[in-house]
Amino acid sequence: MKFGKELTSQMVPEWQEAYMNYGLLKSLLKEIHLFKQRNRPDPPLKRNATLYRAFSGITHMVHHSHPGNHSPSDIESQVILVNRLDDSAETTFLNVHDEGGEYELVYFKRLDEEFNKVVRFYRDKVKEVEDEAGALSKQMEALVAFRVKVEHPQGWTNSVQETQKLASDVAASRAELFATAPSAVRASKRVPIMGIIDEESSRNGGVSSDESSHSDYNKEMKTITTSSQAQKEDEPKINDVRGDRPAPLEILQYVKFNTPQGTPRSTIKGFLNIPNQTDLKFSKDNLKKAEAQLKKAFVEFYNKLRLLKSYSFLNILAFSKIMKKYDKIASRNASKLYMKMVDNSYLGSSDKLIKLMERVEVIFIKHFSNSNRRKGMSILRPKKKKETHRVTFSTGFLVGCTFALLIALILIIRARNILDKEGKVLYMETMFPLYSLFGFIVLHMVLYAVSIYFWRRYRVNYSFIFGFKQGTELGYKEILLVGFCISTLALACVLANLDMEMDPVTKEYKAITELLPLGLVVLLLVIMLCPFNIIYRSSRYFLLVSLFHCLFSPLYKVTLPDFILADQLSSQCLRRLYDEGDIMQGYNGLKYFSIIVAVSTRTAYTLNGATSWKIIAWITSIGATIVSTYWDIVFDWGLFQWNSKNRFLRDKLLVPHKSVYYAAVVLNVLLRLAWMQTVLNITIFSFHTQMMIALVAILEIIRRCIWNFFRLENEHLNNVGKFRAFKSVPLPFNYDEDEDKDE
């Protein structure tokens, strides 16, 4: 794979605009190459190779260096001069008067712009993680104090032993995050080029999880222990110490619990204007909750550090690659000097990130994995889930079973002439709606798997958008496996039911045959609620939690996975209006209200049959269709931007073919009109009413899956525009902002 494609595949999707634009610089080098090809002099006539051998002279002469001679380094310095000031670099191309020099001048100007962009972004992000490290440090101080307090249920006595223990733990916690690294870390800043070939290692910082040896870890712990002991000797009287932070024993006086946002308790407090902080209650349950929250925050923080390290490494490598390509095309020797500037810049020389990573590893292993390094690193650096041939084989086998059963079902209906039997109407009214439900589920899962496939292909970070736990998200093959497993079971039940119904020998077991679909429903519910770690438990739990939030949305804060799932059913717009204060959610609620009105009037017309109700149903249905279609295309998909460079679309499109978007718009309009058949009473091929309902439901599922794909694409592009690549993790403790006033 060429480096340009490799770079694109290794980028953090939400930061793609902040990376060095390798494609643009490569296109500028192509222009230089084309110019040199057009102006290349004719090659000389062929001569015998012996005529080009070095001439040694009549007598052997030794050439001594002369002050006037130019060494290779002097020649290199005459190509470019690089000046670096803080976050910016300015390259002066000295051979601009050479033939084609203007092309190279443009190249270096754009190269500097890309470098300055990368350095500024990197410095800003490092500053952000440093600030977050300070916040996490204060959280760790509070956790250590809280942990010691919980371990002394008999009460706080301020004994010398307790004071020394708390001071030691808090000092060690603070030192672990901000101490200077005991070993040289710059060597690990530049890893071999082959390090980026592995997607997981590059995404996670360009290094493997075993980069820190146990000896380095032991040195770290020894250094931290020494520093904490020295701090204890310097602070014999903790209560007399004053500074910008409270003394360790006074920490808990300024700390309260943060009530988790989005819970029924926080919702009620917000409605009653009650602060979402509560006094500390020193119990083991609260300690576990605080540890779990802070553990999650450290894992997310460490992931940020890994992605930033990957960002730095990939950009440095990209500058190295593009400069070597320039040297080759322009026949220059400028890469060494330019890369020397890159290595000495903040991007190449700052080791703050690596120090922070080492500190976080030490803290996490000590406080959250019981000093078990292997366990702690497996949590901080989860391995990418590997696809197995077993899943592929099982999926293919079940697909074959599904089609075989479907063909068998068609043949048995035709052979036994079931459509002409007397019980056809009763069967269509009772059993068909139940079995069609499984068909809707399977169709939804198959289309969801197709969406995942194309999201991955076009680098839509669906895993981050949905908030899936890293390493547990299902791929399209796993989704297809589950979907076709359900279809195989459902079709087997249908065949067994029909066979028993038609066979005179088994007619007396009719009551049992009708329990088959019920048994299948019970089986699926048991699997969904199974507490054991089998059949993708984390994904089942995620779905159940989102479904629970949908059902009780007034009491929970709505997140994107919740309202995406809710949009498959109805909506949660009013709750989002309450949480976010976005008036557009109120308008979205009115859109869904118009649909409710349209459905209600159509139902009234179906029950009444009066002409007046038909007219009202027509008006409300057309109005709801227009409003919903406009909202889908403009607000949810972000299309129909009049000033866009892509006519009637938007500036950024992930799918390379514009016709796909135009086709999606047309399909959305047509499929929105599909349920109008309930007003028009349209029938196709004399289908039964239940069959028409199922057909309309299938079309609606297809429409919603198309909507899901482009809705998530638009969300991804919004995240890219804001460089939003991380989720905010709530912290357990809240420090009183006025704590310094008491001192």
Whether 72 is in a domain gets the answer no
Instruction: Give a yes or no: residue 402 inside a domain.
Output: yes
In a domain, 465, yes or no: no
Q: Are residues 403 and 499 in the same domain?
A: yes
pLDDT at 58: 44
Q: Which residue has the tokens 């669906």?
A: 462
What gap in Å lies between CA 639 and CA 631, rounded to an integer? 10
> Is residue 411 one of the residues assigned to a domain?
yes
Residue 273 lies in a domain: yes
Alpha carbon distance 478, 447 (integer Å): 13
State the pLDDT at residue 52: 43
Show which of 331, 359, 380 is a domain's final residue.
Answer: 380
Q: 596 and 615 in contact (C-beta within 8 Å)?
A: no
Residue 701 in domain: yes
Do 411 and 486 fall into the same domain?
yes
**Is the same domain home to 159 and 223?**
yes
Are residues 365 and 399 both part of a single domain?
no
Contact 462, 485 (CB under 8 A): no
Residues 413 and 360 occupy one common structural domain: no
286 and 404: one domain?
A: no
pTM score of the predicted model: 0.75
- Please name the amino acid found at residue 459: R
Domain count, the chain: 3
- Residue 180 tokens read as 């200077």
Q: Please indicate, yes or no, whether residues 275 and 355 belong to a single structural domain of this protein.
A: yes
Q: Do residues 342 and 236 share a domain?
A: yes
Which residue from 569, 405, 363 is spatially nearest to 491, judged by alpha carbons?
Answer: 405
Report the alpha-carbon distance of residue 453 to residue 455 in Å, rounded. 6
* CB contact at 8 A, 488 and 481: no
In a domain, 556, yes or no: no
Encoded tokens for 203: 């995404």
Q: Are residues 370 and 429 part of one domain?
A: no
Closest CA to 590 of 641, 631, 549, 638: 631
Let me know whether 503 and 609 are in one domain: no
pLDDT of residue 164: 59
Instruction: Give the pair of three-digit tokens for residue 198.
Output: 């592995």
Q: What is the pLDDT of residue 265?
A: 63
DSSP 71: P
pLDDT at 268: 62
Same domain, 271 and 313: yes
pLDDT of res. 222:
41
* 297 shares a domain with 199: yes
Six-digit token string for 258: 């943060």
**Cβ-contact 134, 303 below 8 angstroms:** no
For residue 93, the SS3 value is: strand
**Domain for residue 546, yes or no?**
no
Answer whether 172's CB lies under 8 Å from 220's CB.
Answer: no
Question: For the chain, which ranges sit under pLDDT 50?
Answer: 45-47, 49-77, 156, 180-247, 738-743
Give the CA radius of gyration of the chain: 34
Maximum alpha-carbon separation in the chain = 119
308: tokens are: 């930033």
| Cα(297)–Cα(302) distance, integer angstroms | 9
3-state secondary structure of 734: strand
What is the domain extent for residue 715?
582-724
Given this model, what pLDDT does residue 216 score?
39
**CA 337 to chain CA centroid, nearest Å:** 38
| CA 479 to each of CA 391, 534, 551, 567: distance values in angstroms, whole numbers, following the listed order | 10, 15, 24, 20
